[in-house]
Structure 1
Amino acid sequence: MELEQNYMIYKTGDFQEKWNAYISLLYKPLIENDACMLYDLFLSLDQTSITLEKLLMLYGSYANRFDASKKKLENYELIKTYYDPISRKNIIEVYPPLNAESFLNHDTFSRLFLNQCGSSHFDFVKLHFNDEVGKTNYVDISEKMDLSCLESWTQEKEETYLNLKPEEGKLKYDFDFETFLKGADRIFPMRYRTKENLSRIASLASIHGIDAVDMRKYVQRSINPNTHVFDFEKLKKQVYANQKIIKPTEDPYKMSPVKFLQNKQQGAPVANADRKVIEKLIKNYSFSNEVMNVLIEYCLNQTQQKFSKAYVEKVAASWIRLQVDSKEKALEVCRQENQVKKPAPKLPDWYQNTEQSVPDDDLVQQALSLQRQLGKEKNDEI
């Protein structure tokens, strides 16, 4: 291992509230303390570029111990490592642990856990996480917060609040919030307009090409009239069901990625799996719509119009290493890739030598004499 090697570390996926408990009680008996410490270190270095030498210093150990712990994390799918042999750089993606139910039902992990810890500890852990493992037939009857106190919240109060809140808390998205929120006090009351909700709504609209009018309709259908709970998963299902075809703009790369892909397949609906791949890449790598669309086009051209998840993610990771952060850079990378050709076979030096020598008179006379003699012998045979 070379100490100068560079690592880019990214945290990916949704980390649940109990992720630390899952690591301590489920994974730690299998991967041991050193690997847990390395996992915590990787999480602390999210979106950081760092050399191996610096990593080892922060980890407080030698390279062989670091490598052993990293392999354990890879074996249990807590991290994935990618390597570019050209730039000699690495990308480490850090994933959340499985929850208790998924872990204890995993064909491999659960057997290894039982083998390592025994049936008594297995039952203890199952009981500890009983609210996850055994609540399949239960109904949530918990008391919901009474939000009626915000019924009197007005647009004037909202504007005052936005002016008073810290600058970093304000939202800036390429989404028509003015149309979306206009006259929507009853459809989408102020109490639902949290930063998280507005951010997720704007992100969905941008990726899937949903205008403000349609989005307001979908949001209204996603609020339970009885519990007054905003169901984001229900909103996603409605967005996924939207198959409205949008004609390409003057610059097609400015389209939403899902609609761009839909146009590439002659208006055919985009599969949910493909939508999720696009969402993941934009979330994890912060690709703009333009860069994402160039990436989609490039991958389709390279794979005979197949949108392969593994290939798309591989190309996306290489673009991160190449620091592709604009449409122009993305198109330039594609152009360079398309210009790469196999080198022509090298010909011997004599092949290029076209110079001809003129034979002397004696040699010409000998050749003519030989021709006449051969002709005479042929006639005699006839």
Structure 2
Amino acid sequence: MNERIRHLLPNDRMKIFKEKPFFEDAETVLTLLYQPLISIKGVAVFQALWKESNFQQSQTSISHHQMMNMLNMTLDEFYDARKKLEAIGLLHSYKEEGTYRTLYYVLQRPFSVNRFFEDPMLSVLLEHHVGRDVYLRLKKRLVNVPSLPTNIQSVTHSFDDVFTTIHPNHMVDNQLIEEEESISIQTQLPLEWLHKMLTQQKIHAQKVLTQANIEYIEKIIKVYDVDFLELEKALIWAINEDQQFDRKEFQDMCKDIFYKKHGSVPPRLYSKASQDEQPTNKQSETNQNTEQPKSKEGQLIQHFNNITHRELLEDFSSSGRASMKEVDMITNMMEEHGLTQPVMNVLVDYVLKRNGNKLSKNYLETIAAHWSREDIQSAKDAMQIAKREHHMYETWKQKKSQNQRKQQRSKEVLPKWFEEERKNKRKSTQPAQEPKKQINTGESQKKREELEAFIKNYSKTKH
């Protein structure tokens, strides 16, 4: 508030101008693409200034108090929204001191849909604010890509194919001059150092450090907080075998650097005032990382704290290269479940060792979801829960093996010789009972003969 009082008061006047006519899709772009970055108040202020500029005469002005009443917001809220508009590139502000202080607001044309998604900084920040799924849906809905047949070939002639404005004898000289001038591009990057570094790596620096690539690099390293020393590693990584600068590879490498330094929360737009109020333990973490632990477990924890999952996959690979598909999968999973980089490193290491150096997405995501619910925040906690789960798995595996052996014993077929031996043992016990059976059989035979004789004699006497 003290800052706002020094720079803006309710009685200060405002004059509003539009630098260029806006694109037809300006309303859509402001609402769906800019709003997640600068908040609904930022968009409301811009739209109010936009509408006012359509009716305001060049010699007239209104007070900020009038604008406050129109927007139903305090002057502090207006000033905060104005700063966001200036920072995102939608507004330029100028002041004129006099009887009344007058602010000149020059509205900048919002990007078109296509230009917004082509801008590396805005598109990356939007993806981190709304999530990858929403980002891709917005891009699919808003970006109009002409659907031409796949079997056609371009026969369009370019300007250089048809025209030339210089004599052919001077073509080479002009090209050399053009290359020399390209080095003097206006940028904050240390171009001389980058040229020297790429040349030492036997990379054609002029081919990589074009004006478009330099602008892209500047925006990406600003989003992902990459310093110049880290830039060297990211830049070399992003150059492919054909010495072409791969922007996707560069962004992924910068993203890894960001997560390694700041954890799993993706880069977003924060107000510096609110950021300063939040306590940080970065200094204490740095001190802990510089101390060399003595125990093996401590060294392993420090290792997981100081690397990215890309570097971890490179260590497991015999070629020293990580699969970009796996790197993207792990990065998205880490963001989705809110796991820190050290915790994700432990998880990847655990799954690779448990699963025969294979990264199963379903298996990895099941454990990631579980650790997220358990609120695992450090490599030490992740290692402890991994050990506990591994012990439970080994115990369950041992019990299962024992049960299987019991079932196998009950179902196994006895050998033939064992059955014959058992029958022989039974027969050896039977002879002791045979005499009794024979006696019983003889007595019954004798009785039967006597009965037959009696019946025979009885029939004779009767006749």
Task: Specify the TM-score bucket, using the shorter chain as the normaliser.
Answer: 0.3 to 0.5
Give the TM-score normalised by structure 1: 0.35
Structure with greater contact order relative to length (CA < 8 Å, sep ≥ 6): 1
Larger radius of gyration: 2
